Structure 1
Amino acid sequence: MGNTDVACDAPTTAPEEPVPALRALRVLELLAGMEQPASLTAISAGSGLSKTRTYRALRNLQDSGFVHHVGRSGYRIGSRAIALATLMSPRPALIRSTRPVLMRLALGGGETATLHLRSGGHRVLVLGEEAPHSALRRVVMFGERSPLTSGCSGTSILAHLPQAEAEQIIEQQLAPEQRPRMRTQLSEIREQGYAMSFSSNHVGLHGISTALLDPADGYPLGSLAIAGPEARLPERKLLGLVGSLQAASAELAPRLAVVIGPNSSVRLDSLDVTIQELLTR
Structure 2
Amino acid sequence: MAQKDKVLVLQKAISILEDLSDRSEPAGLTEIAKATGLSKTTAYRILSTLQDSNVLLKNSRGRYQIGPAVVKWSAAYNRRSGLLEMSRNILEGMRDYSGETIHLFVFENGRAYYLEKLESPSPLVMRSQVGVELPLYSTAGGKAILFALPSNQLDDYLAKNVLERRTPNTITDPDRLKELLKQYKSLGYSEEIQENEEGIRCVAAPVVDGNGYPIGAVSVSAPAYRFDDKKASVVGRKLAQETAKISLRISRRHMEGNKEA
Q: State if a TM-score over 0.5 links the two structures.
A: yes
CA RMSD across the alignment: 4.6
Change (3 A) 1:80 1:145: same
Partner of 2:118: 128
Partner of 2:26: 37
Partner of 1:196: 191
Aligned AA for 1:214? D
Q: Distance in 2 between matches of 1:163 and 1:59?
A: 43
Change (3 A) 1:209 1:70: same
CA contact (8 A) 1:198 1:205 kept: yes
* 1:123 Cα offset (Å): 2.3
CA contact (8 A) 2:114 2:134 kept: no
Change (3 A) 1:51 1:142: closer
Q: Distance in 2 between matches of 1:128 and 1:246?
A: 18
Change (3 A) 1:108 1:66: closer
Matches for 1:149-168 after TM superposition, within 5 Å: 149=136, 150-157=138-145, 162-163=153-154, 166=157
CA contact (8 A) 1:159 1:186 kept: no
Q: Distance in 2 between matches of 1:125 and 1:51?
A: 30
Partner of 2:231: 237
* Secondary structure of residue in 1 paired with 2:215: strand
Q: Distance in 2 between matches of 1:123 and 1:251?
A: 21
Determine if the alignment matches structure 1 residue 139 to structure 2 residue 130: no
Q: Distance in 2 between matches of 1:264 and 1:27?
A: 40
Q: Distance in 1 between matches of 2:164 and 2:23?
A: 19
The count of corresponding residues between Structure 1 and Structure 2 is 232
Determine if the alignment matches structure 1 residue 215 to structure 2 residue 210: yes
Q: Distance in 2 between matches of 1:114 and 1:83?
A: 22
Q: Distance in 1 between matches of 2:8 and 2:147?
A: 30
Matches for 1:52-67 after TM superposition, within 5 Å: 55=43, 61-62=50-51, 64-67=53-56
Partner of 1:80: 69
Q: Which runs of no fewer than 5 residues in structure 2 stay unpaired?
A: 1-6
* Secondary structure of residue in 2 paired with 1:244: helix
CA contact (8 A) 1:148 1:158 kept: no
Q: Distance in 1 between matches of 2:112 and 2:85?
A: 25
* 1:252 Cα offset (Å): 0.8
Change (3 A) 1:118 1:26: farther
Q: Distance in 2 between matches of 1:213 and 1:167?
A: 21
Determine if the alignment matches structure 1 residue 265 to structure 2 residue 257: yes
- Alpha-carbon displacement from aligned partner over 1:168-227 (angstroms, at most 9, x marks no partner): 9845x847xx99816346524531223322345555332111221222361x32211122
* Secondary structure of residue in 2 paired with 1:28: helix
Q: Distance in 2 between matches of 1:81 and 1:33?
A: 14
* Secondary structure of residue in 1 paired with 2:172: helix
Q: TM-score, normalised by structure 2?
A: 0.62
Change (3 A) 1:25 1:157: farther
* Secondary structure of residue in 2 paired with 1:216: coil
Aligned AA for 1:40? I
Q: Which runs of no fewer than 5 residues in structure 1 stay unpaired?
A: 1-18, 45-49, 267-281
Q: Distance in 2 between matches of 1:206 and 1:66?
A: 36
* 1:20 Cα offset (Å): 4.9
Aligned AA for 1:238? A
Q: Distance in 1 between matches of 2:15 and 2:200?
A: 31
* 1:230 Cα offset (Å): 2.1
Q: TM-score, normalised by structure 1?
A: 0.59
